[in-house]
Amino acid sequence: MSNRGWYPGHMVATQKTIRDLAPYLSAFIEVVDARAPELTRHRPLAAWVGRTPLILVLNKSDVADPEVTEAWVRWYQKANIAAVALTAEAPDAQKRLKSAITRRLKPPYRLSVVGLPNLGKSTVLNRMVGKNRVRTGGKPGLTRGPQWIRMEDGWEWLDLPGVVTPSKSRDWRMALLGVVPVDPAEAESIAMQVWKLYHPQAGDEDWLMWGKSRGYLQQGGVVDVQRTADAIIAGFRSASLGRLSLEAPHEAGPDA
């Protein structure tokens, strides 16, 4: 798959948009992936937002290793970085995020959701504004804006194309997490690596034996490599292979 067209032109304007809007906002909500929260943070954001607070949402915690997520929350607490673990798709998401915000900030609440593609920005915003007013999906760039959404309780949400581009897009974990597309030529190596995370003793070919055992075969009984790789990547993403985190606090750099 070609990467061309992946990032619409309006994202070039994101830095300026964020800098310009920051003074009007009480905070930015940065959505990261609970399975690799430092890897999926957008480093330049902290500078772009200036003095406006950033609150990290460690989203998709339903598919992350719960103990690792807890360790991350403690790690951020120690680093004095506002962070909350969330499952945006869960029914209690609105309540959880609202309380995380009101615990840290005084009203009025004027907020915006930012972060790398596919981490759940639209899902978070939908949860907060209700009535599915924001489109979600696999493709970034579906959100058009900026547009203020005013809630009855006085909260205001800015629906802006808050997607920022990843700097570590060549890291295989970014493809596994869906931040960038999986290059079909790399699917096999990604599948092997994730298989070894689930099974630390596994050899290089063991993931193919799993495919065979599942009946992912081509004519002649040869294992269907592509289908097996796709199934492992899908199994990681849905956690049907188990809840697995890709990054633990001790692996992250000291700069956060």
Ligand X SMILES: Nc1nc2c(ncn2[C@@H]2O[C@H](COP(=O)(O)OP(=O)(O)O)[C@@H](O)[C@H]2O)c(=O)[nH]1
Residue 14 binds to Mg ion (criterion: CB under 5 A): no
Q: Work out the burial of residue 115: count CB atoms within 10 Å of its CB; fewer than 13 is exposed, 13-18 middle, 19 or more buried.
A: buried
Give, for 28, the enclosing helix (H) or strand (E). Answer: strand 27-33
Name the residue nearer to ligand X (CB basis): 113 or 192.
Answer: 113
Residue 126 binds to Mg ion (criterion: CB under 5 A): no
Q: How far is CA 59 from CA 62, 103, 131, 173, in A?
A: 8, 19, 20, 16
DSSP letter assigned to residue 217: B
d(CA 9, CA 229): 32
CA 203 from chain centre, in angstroms, equals 30
With CB under 5 to 8 Å by kind, the binding choice for 87 among Mg ion, ligand X, none is ligand X
CB of 161 to ligand X, least distance (A): 10
Residue 242 binds to ligand X (criterion: CB under 6 A): no
- Among the listed ranges 35-43, 135-143, 146-154, 172-180, the one in contact with Mg ion (CB under 5 A) is 135-143
Name the residue nearer to ligand X (CB basis): 112 or 123.
Answer: 123
Name the residue nearer to Mg ion (CB basis): 9 or 221.
Answer: 9
Rounded to 5 degrees, φ, ψ at 22 are -50, -45
Size of the site for ligand X (CB under 6 A): 19
Residue 123 binds to ligand X (criterion: CB under 6 A): yes
CB of 5 to ligand X, least distance (A): 16
